[in-house]
A and B are shown apart, each in its own frame.
Chain A
C-alpha cells in the first residue's frame, strides 16, 4: 500500500523509481512538447534552427566583422556556433523547465503523476534540439575540413554533463518556485540573457583574462558552470583554436569538480521540489 501524508516528501530513491516506472510516459510527454510547439506552422522543426542560425549570423557579422572580435579567433563562425550550442542547451532546459509545471497545470490539477516528469520532459525536448545543432556543427566542421577527431574531443563529455546537471537542477527548482511566484519566469529570461554575455560565447576567454588579470575575479568568471561548459565545448569541437587559443589550466579537473557540485545541487533542489510539490494543485 502506498500512502501520502502531511509534509512528507518522498525519498530520492523512491522518486527515481517512480520516474523510471513512468519512462514510457516521459517519452510521450517529450514528443508532445516537440509536436505541439510547432503544430500548425508550415516550417515546423525548421524554426528550431532558424533562431540559433540567426543569432550566429548576427554575432558573426556585427561582432566578428564590424567590431572585429574575430581577430585572434580563427574559424570564428564555428567558434560562435559551438558556444551558442552549449549555451542554448543550458538556457533551453532552464527556460522550458521553469515554465513546465505551470504550463502543464491542466494535467497536474487532475491526475497524480510524479511531478518531476514535467521539468524532465523539457530536458528531453531541449536535448533533441541540442542534438540537431550538434549534428550541424559536425557537418559544418567536416565541410570546412576541421572535423574534431582529436584526443581533445574527450572534453565534450564532462562539459556536456556539467551543463546538463546544472540546468536540470535549476530547471527543477525554478519550475516549483514559479508555481508560487510567477515573476520567476520573467526573472529567468533576464538572467539567461545575462548569462549569454557572461560566458565566452562571442568573445574569447583570453580577452577576459587580459582585462580581469589573474586574480579572484577571473576565477569567479571561469568557474561558473556555463563558462566551463562553453570552454569545454570549444576545446573539443573547435579545431581552429588548437595551439592558438588559451584555456584555463586544469580545465578537466575544474569540470569534474563542477560536475560533483552540480550533482549535489541536483539532489538538494530535488528535496526542495518534493517538499513543495504537494501544494501544486491548489496553487495553480
Chain B
C-alpha cells in the first residue's frame, strides 16, 4: 500500500495473526485521501487584508494521504511502517475518527481506544485517580465498570501512592503507564498505538506486549528491540 509517492508507507500484518481464520472486518478504509492546508495568515486582520485572490498565496496544500484503501480484521495485529512524514499518524487519526478524511470513507465498529501522542486525554490539574475515571468514561466505560477495574488499572500502571497526585507532576513514563493501563482495561476492540510506548522503560514495554498478547484472539508483533511502533490490534 503506497500512500504518498515520494514518501511511501507500508502496512505489515503480523505473520502469526495472518494464520488466524478470517474474522469480521473491524475497519474498512475506502479510497481515503487527506489534504492539509497550511495557512500563514491566522489573525482576522491578516485574513481580511489577504482576502480573496491574494489569500491563496498565503496557503499551501499538502496531501498526507492519497487514495488509501485497506481493511483490518478483528483479532489481527497490523503495523504501519514508514519514514517520518509519510502519513502514519494521519492514517491512525483518520481511523480513530479524530480527523475526517477529505475524500473517501472510513467505516469502523466496536470500541476504539487510541493512544496517540503522550498523555492522551489527561487533564494536568486533576489527580491520577480523577483522570482515570475521566479517561475511562471518554473511552466509553461507565462509572461502575471503572470502579470494578480500578485496582487492576492501578496495579498494572505501577503508579502506586502517586495516584492521588496531580498528573502535572508525573514523569513522562508515569504518564504513559497510566494512559496505557486505562486504555487496555477498557477492553477495546481496536487499540491504536502511536509511538507512546517509546517512553516507557523496557520492563513496562514487555508488560504492555504481554497484555496485548492476552487479548482474545490477538497476538502482537514481537520485536524485542522495537517498542511496538504502530499497532492496530
**C-alpha gap A198/B100 in the complex (Å):** 41
Neighbour of A112 across the interface among B45, B114, B125, B142, CB < 8 A: B114
- Give the size range of A's interface with the partner: 20 to 34
**C-alpha gap A112/B132 in the complex (Å):** 17
Kindly state whether residue A161 has any CB partner on chain B within 8 Å.
Answer: no
Count of A-B contacts with CB under 8 A? 102
**C-alpha gap A8/B100 in the complex (Å):** 9
Kindly state whether residue A183 has any CB partner on chain B within 8 Å.
Answer: yes
Point out residues on B near A: beta carbons under 8 Å.
Answer: 28, 36, 42-45, 47, 93, 96-109, 112, 114, 116-117, 119-123, 125-126, 130, 133-134, 137-139, 142-143, 166
Neighbour of A282 across the interface among B36, B107, B123, CB < 8 A: B36
Min CB distance, B115 to chain A, in Å?
Answer: 8
**C-alpha gap A39/B100 in the complex (Å):** 35
Min CB distance, A226 to chain B, in Å?
Answer: 24
Closest 4 CB pairs of A and B: A278-B100, A112-B97, A3-B107, A183-B44
B143 touches A112 (CB 8 A): no
From A2, A6, A8, A24, name the one whose CB has the most chain B CB atoms within 10 angstroms. Answer: A6
Kindly state whether residue A32 has any CB partner on chain B within 8 Å.
Answer: yes
Residues of chain A within 8 A of B126, CB atoms compared: 32, 35-36, 39
B101 touches A181 (CB 8 A): no
Residues of chain A within 8 A of B123, CB atoms compared: 32, 36, 106
Neighbour of A4 across the interface among B101, B117, B122, B139, CB < 8 A: B101
Point out residues on A near B: beta carbons under 8 Å.
Answer: 1-8, 24-25, 28-29, 32, 35-36, 39-40, 106-113, 181-183, 278-279, 281-282
Min CB distance, B224 to chain A, in Å?
Answer: 28
Neighbour of A24 across the interface among B43, B117, B143, CB < 8 A: B143
Min CB distance, B100 to chain A, in Å?
Answer: 3
Residues of chain A within 8 A of B143, CB atoms compared: 24
Neighbour of A110 across the interface among B104, B120, B137, B142, CB < 8 A: B120
**C-alpha gap A111/B119 in the complex (Å):** 11
Residues of chain B within 8 A of A39, CB atoms compared: 125-126, 166
Residues of chain A within 8 A of B98, CB atoms compared: 108-112, 281
**C-alpha gap A36/B122 in the complex (Å):** 12
B108 touches A110 (CB 8 A): no
